[in-house]
Amino acid sequence: MSVTDRSRLALVFRRVLMLLLLGLAGGLAYAVLSLPDQAVGLSDRVRANMETSGVSNPVTAVLLNFRGYDTLLEMAVLLVALLGVWSLGSAAVYRRSNPEPVLLSLVGVLVPMLLLMAGYLLWVGADAPGGAFQAGSVLAAAGILMLLACKRPPVQLLGWSLRLVLVLGLGAFIAVGVSLLSASGMFLQYPPGLAGALILFIEAAATLSIGVTLAALFLGGRLDPDA
């Protein structure tokens, strides 16, 4: 087959693909348009149970209380992804270039502000948009900024203490679940009086883990203390 034949075949293939995908888009659009205009969904059931959830932000209540399993498994997915990345090899050795003075002074201003913002987002998640994932990603942004400015964490923190922080979120979640299982016989079924405190505890641990996990994912490989 000559080169022109090949490119013509590729063109025909793309045309056919476009037609097929237009058909798919049309079908999906029809499915969306044929949905009823108003749908209650699960919002009424969430509203009816908000009293027992321990928080007043419905999204946090769903994430950490009504559908706690989702969030528990999501923390596990985050950890497994990091294990996958780490199993592929060590992080690339950083070129120890001298970062620009502008970047350094920006990091000096931004990192404390990001830490403050992460704490605020974690706290406000109980009754307004915010929560562990938002706070964790802000924390990760601070960590990535530090890494870009060549401010690596001290070597003695890269061993057990790093791994401890990485599993802290999942560990706290499972610990709460298991202690509730032994106390009341239901996994992750918070007693209404304690729910707010338990959710804050889990979220605080999860924020730390998410932030450190995302920053570690950014490095793209295992962190060896002796490297």
Please report how close the Cβ of residue 183 comes to another protein at its closest, in angstroms. 26
Give the CA distances from residue 144 to residues 7, 13, 138, 225, in Å, rounded to whole numbers and listed in that order: 43, 42, 10, 19
Residue 133-162 contact track with another protein, rule CB under 8 A, x = bound: x-----------------------------
Which of 29/113 has CB closer to another protein? 29
Give the one residue of 1, 36, 51, 96 binding another protein; rule: CB under 8 A. Answer: 36
CA 225, distance to chain mean position in Å, is 25
Asked if 124 interacts with another protein (CB under 8 A), we say no
Which residues are CB-neighbours of 23 under 8 A, at least 6 positions away?
none
Asked if 39 interacts with another protein (CB under 8 A), we say yes
Please report how close the Cβ of residue 38 comes to another protein at its closest, in angstroms. 5
Please report how close the Cβ of residue 98 comes to another protein at its closest, in angstroms. 25
Asked if 43 interacts with another protein (CB under 8 A), we say yes
Asked if 40 interacts with another protein (CB under 8 A), we say yes
Asked if 108 interacts with another protein (CB under 8 A), we say no
Segment contacting another protein by CB under 8 A, of 104-112, 115-123, 172-180, 210-218: 210-218
Please report how close the Cβ of residue 131 comes to another protein at its closest, in angstroms. 8
Asked if 19 interacts with another protein (CB under 8 A), we say no
Binding site for another protein (CB under 8 A): 14, 17-18, 21-22, 24-25, 28-29, 32-33, 35-43, 46, 58-59, 61-63, 67, 70-71, 74, 77-78, 80-82, 84-85, 88-89, 131, 133, 210, 213-214, 217-218, 220-221
